[in-house]
Structure 1
Amino acid sequence: MHQQPVDRHFYLDDSGAHDQGIWLYAWMGVPALDEACFFDEIDTFRAGLLAEYGIPVEFELHATKFLTGHGRPGGKELAARYRKHIAQHMLDLLDAQPDLSVGAVFAQRPLRHRRLMDEAFAGTLRRINAQLEAAREYGRLVIDGDGTNPLYQAAFDEVRPARITGFKFVPAHESQPVQFADLIAYTAFQWLVRAPKRAFMHHWYPAHLAKAHGPERV
């Protein structure tokens, strides 16, 4: 069987609160031809964090931990204002990429956790597939995780997105792009739920990701 060339890689991560009946997947779609240059920009960004804040390149920028003050990058405390500035810089870096796509899809219903995730992921597959169809492109997914959750293959088999050639799993701590996708997911989630303790970032999704799709409810 002929394997279609991949025009765009989509880096995905999720965020949500099953006790509130809401789950969300967010993505950034990187054109394959621009990927090397984009990765170089991420490397430059991380080198800047090391020089200015002493944050090692291998330190995982996990949004829910980083923005809540957890972790001591480089063995040192990092003030909340710097953490917020760094996260906003990350979002601005994405928005500055002319051909990079960003979006989020969520499910909000009183369902069991697995079913809620399934609906959100299936909706994400349909949205990404529609984007690829409109652009006459093919894409491949890179999902945060270790590949042990059967939900993803089951949803993929159910939706059968013709423009998505497949997917693979990469843990966020091993992938800088997935860490960016994690921040998109957390930003979109906070835009939706408006948690009082995260009021500082309620406006981030529309303010820093002007090109972003959604968050779209399924």
Structure 2
Amino acid sequence: MDQQSVDRHFYLDDSGALDQGVWLYAWLGVPARDEARFVGEIDAFRAGLLTEYGIPVEFELHATKFLTGHGRPGGQELAPMDRKHIAQRMLDLLDAQSDLSVGAVYAQRELRYRLLRRETFAGTLRRIDVQLAAAGERGRLVIDGDGTDPIYQAVFDEVRPARVDGFEFVAAHESGPVQFADLVAYTAFQWVVRAPKRAFMHHWYPAHLAKAHGPERV
């Protein structure tokens, strides 16, 4: 199908812990007609972080590193409270979007790494397909990665989601929406596993993403 006929782009990223038997995918479903405005809001947000905190717009906001104090954006230290506040503001920006679809799906089973990821991605495809069918829409996936992982094509061919017209890969450092999807994935993951060291964010998913789906277990 022609790219222009796609109604919604789904930006996907994952999070998980094999030792706990948990893997999760989260998505941002951005209406194609509204994508330029949404990306513009992200760009404006990043420009604001540069002004307020000195965080360069090209600095990747990778949730597992950023929220654990790793990295010195702009060559300077950033207080833990500031990092948390920035992440919460990112989630609030998503929740304020009137027609943005946000959700997460996870699997929790004692499986080998690849099987656990396959099961989770399959569940994610089915969930997105159901959502698109209910809305009478068609979608396309934008997945964090370089395209070398064969799992995605194998699972896509197996599930064959009727409403999803394929997928493409974009590295997170090149995409603002993928970085936001990464934060949603990590936030949803912490809601599921309740890691003691991340107690400060256990409530973030329902508190800051009130309209989001899940996290749904498959």
TM-score (norm 1): 0.98
Q: 2: CA distance between counterparts of 1:109 and 1:198?
A: 22
Query: Gapped runs of 5+ residues in structure 2?
Result: none
Q: 2: CA distance between counterparts of 1:101 and 1:130?
A: 13
> Could you say which residue in structure 2 is the equivalent of 1:31?
31
> Could you say which residue in structure 1 is the equivalent of 2:14?
14
> Could you say which residue in structure 2 is the equivalent of 1:91?
91
Query: Residues 88-127 of structure 1, C-alpha deviation per residue, up to 9 Å, x if partnerless?
Result: 0000000000000000000110000000000000000000
Alignment of 1:1-150 (within 5 A): 3=2, 5-150=5-150
**Range moving further from structure 2, 2-11 or 26-35:** 2-11
Q: 2: CA distance between counterparts of 1:119 and 1:40?
A: 34
Query: Residues 43-64 of structure 1, C-alpha deviation per residue, up to 9 Å, x if partnerless?
Result: 1100000000000000000000
**Which letter maps to 2:194?**
R
Secondary structure of the corresponding residue to residue 178 of structure 2: helix
Q: 2: CA distance between counterparts of 1:95 and 1:3?
A: 30
Q: 2: CA distance between counterparts of 1:156 and 1:28?
A: 18
Deviation at 1:19, TM superposition (A): 1.2
**Range moving further from structure 2, 101-110 or 2-11:** 2-11
Percent identical across equivalent pairs? 82
> Could you say which residue in structure 2 is the equivalent of 1:182?
182
Deviation at 1:3, TM superposition (A): 3.7
> Could you say which residue in structure 2 is the equivalent of 1:158?
158
Secondary structure of the corresponding residue to residue 14 of structure 1: strand
**Which letter maps to 2:19?**
D
Q: 1: CA distance between counterparts of 2:48 and 2:194?
A: 31
TM-score (norm 2): 0.98
Q: 1: CA distance between counterparts of 2:2 and 2:43?
A: 31
Q: 2: CA distance between counterparts of 1:19 and 1:175?
A: 29
Query: Residues 119-143 of structure 1, C-alpha deviation per residue, up to 9 Å, x if partnerless?
Result: 0000000000000000000000000
Secondary structure of the corresponding residue to residue 141 of structure 2: strand
Q: How many residues align?
A: 217
Q: 2: CA distance between counterparts of 1:69 and 1:208?
A: 21
**Which letter maps to 2:40?**
D
Query: Gapped runs of 5+ residues in structure 1?
Result: none
**Is residue 215 from structure 1 mapped to residue 200 from structure 2 by the alignment?**
no
Q: 1: CA distance between counterparts of 2:149 and 2:42?
A: 29
Q: 2: CA distance between counterparts of 1:102 and 1:67?
A: 21
Backbone CA RMSD of aligned residues: 0.7
> Could you say which residue in structure 2 is the equivalent of 1:173?
173
Q: 1: CA distance between counterparts of 2:205 and 2:18?
A: 21
4+ runs deviating over 3 angstroms? none
**Which letter maps to 1:112?**
R
Secondary structure of the corresponding residue to residue 83 of structure 1: helix
Deviation at 1:182, TM superposition (A): 0.1
